[in-house]
Amino acid sequence: MPKVLVFGTGSLGTCYAWALSKAVGQDNVTAICRSNYEAASRNGFTVHSTLWGDNLTFQPRIARSVAEAVRQLSLDTQQFFDFVVVAAKAVPTDPSIAEIIGPAIVKGKTAIVLLQNGIGIEDEYARLYPESPLLSTVAYFPATQVSPGVVHHKEVELLHVGTYPADAPQAHKNIAREFVELLGKGGATAKLHDDIQRKRWAKLLVNSSWNPICALTRLRDREFIEVSLDLGLGAGNDKWGDGARFIKDVMMEIASVAQAYGYSDVNEETVDFQIGRAVVRDLPGVQPSMLGDAFEKRSMEVDAIVGNVVRLARKKGVNVPMLRTIYLLANGLSESFSRKKLQG
């Protein structure tokens, strides 16, 4: 059976650790825990899912660090991980996550799976581990860790999977297929894609706009639309008002970057579809993860989700003044949280 290391057991990491435990057996899964280490060591994990079932408990191996996870393999027949799944939040750390997982990566044997939001997040892994198969994923998976080791999940579960880069060797493509099949065996829905970046851009349309906008305004998506209906900016008589027009213009900037990179199916049609989803929600609407981070004064995935889009735009000479503004502001807000901690 393949062995799996899951780095980061927030809501997403925990749920996919459950599916992988079902597929390969929980003894072949090691979860790296930080704040939920005590709880997970004592009680394992519990997932309550409207799709997978209620009260799903499992007890994988638990480690505090990658070194500890590797040590735990020393008496096993197979002393390396086949998959290292990175499910931690994509925020800059020192050392970086890519560096931290180093001890668990065995050249030619270990594949790395990135279960993270954003764009351009694969670069550092590809640079540090050029020979390791690198899988990039896009998750549609609304879940919340309600207490240490206990996760609620609802509505949808879908993981898009593909190699990085899209033109990786066939051997890597095969490993992507293997990973998708493992998840299927574990009861999760995963789809294999030849070019996963297309899916990343499609998700960014929503993520790079709503996430920072909600975090900066401290409003949920539908609330933002509501308080911005008529600001005298010309769309007050439109069906959805000045706020929705603003969101559309921001999304169109993101789409223009996607198009500059060849993803022409991220366009006005998909933008309108995404706006349409938000405006018909009941008040107060959805709370994007970054808004939750802002309320808790946790650092936010600003670079992965917004900054990289602005930098990619710059490389292609695409003008994104609104997104650049949002980036500088969201970066400042996120930095204010760490400054508070430093000062306090």
CA dist., res. 207 & res. 159, Å (int) = 16
Estimate the crossing angle of helix 197-217 against helix 241-260, to 10 degrees: 150
CB 49 within 8 A of CB 153: yes
Pairwise CA distance, residues 253 & 320, whole Å: 6
CB of 224 to a second copy, least distance (A): 5
Report the C-alpha dihedral over residues 122, 83, 9, 102, rounded to 10 degrees: -60
Nearer to a second copy, 82 or 242 (CB): 242
The minimum distance between CB 119 and a second copy, in angstroms, equals 14
Nearer Cβ to a second copy (198/245): 245
Cβ proximity to a second copy, 4 vs 225, nearer residue: 225
3-state secondary structure 167-236: CCCHHHHHHHHHHHHHHHHCCCCEEECCCCHHHHHHHHHHHHHHHHHHHHHCCCHHHHHHHCCCCCCCCC
Q: CB of 328: closest distance to a second copy in angstroms?
A: 5
Nearer to a second copy, 70 or 326 (CB): 326
The 3-state DSSP class for residue 271 equals: helix
Binding site for a second copy (CB under 8 A): 213, 216-219, 223-224, 227-228, 231-234, 242-243, 246, 249-250, 307, 310-311, 314, 321-322, 324-329, 331-333, 335-336, 339
In the complex, minimum distance from the CB of residue 166 to a second copy, in angstroms, rounded to a whole number: 24
DSSP string computed for 67-88: HHHHHTTTTSSS-S-SEEEE-S
The minimum distance between CB 323 and a second copy, in angstroms, equals 9
Smallest distance from a second copy to CB 66, Å: 28
Nearest distance, CB of residue 123 and a second copy, angstroms: 12
- b (16+ CB within 10 A) / e for 172-185: bbebbebbbebbee
Q: Rank residues 195 and 249 by Cβ distance to a second copy and give the closer one.
A: 249
Residue closer to a second copy, measured from CB, 53 or 92: 92
* Residue placing its CB nearer to a second copy in the complex, 124 or 181: 124
Q: What are phi and psi of 179, to 5 degrees?
A: -65, -40
